[in-house]
Amino acid sequence: MRDIDAPLNSLVNIDRNSLLAILSSEADAARQLVNGARQRTASQRAKRRDAEQRAARLDRMLSFFQNGESAPGMSQRDIKLCKTVEQRLRAWGEPRDPPVPGLKP
């Protein structure tokens, strides 16, 4: 698993749907590790625990970008990171809420 901070900080001209897809994919990968991890050794238990924490962190980030609010348990570091990315989305012209088909803005 790779760290999610670096990719989020280096985003250039990404749209909200792509961002959500990336975060969802990363969270799914972490959950697959959790579900498939053996727990016989201390190292295996640590890897599983890390994957659980990563999945939870990614779910909180997804919640932020979907709902616009920090999720319970979200660290100050993650809140700052998500707000920075949110500002970049707005600077690139990405609306806060995607337009609803059939409704005029």
Summarised one tens digit per residue, pLDDT across range 8-24 is 767 666 788 888 998 99
Report pLDDT for 95.
54
Question: What's the pLDDT tens digit per position in 30-49?
Answer: 999 888 877 789 988 898 99
pTM: 0.74
Residue 12 per-residue DSSP state:
-
pLDDT tens-digit series, residues 57-96: 999 999 999 988 899 999 999 999 999 888 888 876 755 5
* The residue to which tokens 């697959």 are assigned: 32
CA distances from 59 to 2, 25, 91, 104 (A): 16, 11, 24, 31
